[in-house]
């Protein structure tokens, strides 16, 4: 039994200058008939949810003839602390690879393995 669909995972660095183009790319790919998950850090995803009324995490949304969904991963950032770039990058570099690996594994567990 093989995979019945192509599933792209697009991961964006969690800054607006990266997230916006990643979202545009994700929509274009999904529009062509593919299943696409757009992912960024939990903190960035929370900010996206605050500014977008119809954004639902993890629920696939039809785009063209494909589907788009959002998911996030933990970046090591305590959102109650003031943001400081250097300490955040250190935590991100330590926690990011493992968090993305877990995200990919979870996609497979949910029956939607990343192609």
Contact 75, 14 (CB under 8 A): yes
Q: Is 85 one of the catalytic residues?
A: no
Alpha carbon 26 to its chain centroid, in Å, reads: 10
Catalytic residue among 18, 91, 95, 100: 18
Task: Count CB atoms within 10 A of the CB of residue 94.
Answer: 12
Active-site annotation, residues:
18
């Amino acid at each position: 039994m093989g995979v019945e669909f192509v599933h792209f995972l697009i991961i964006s660095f969690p800054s607006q200058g990266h997230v916006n183009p990643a979202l545009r790319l994700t929509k274009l790919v999904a529009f062509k008939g593919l299943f696409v998950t757009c992912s960024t850090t939990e903190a960035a995803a929370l900010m996206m949810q605050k500014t977008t009324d119809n954004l639902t995490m993890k629920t696939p949304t039809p785009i063209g003839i494909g589907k788009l969904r959002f998911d996030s991963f933990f970046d090591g950032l305590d959102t109650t602390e003031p943001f400081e770039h250097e300490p955040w990058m250190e935590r991100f570099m330590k926690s990011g690879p493992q968090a993305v690996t877990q995200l990919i594994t979870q996609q497979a567990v949910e029956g939607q393995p990343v192609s």
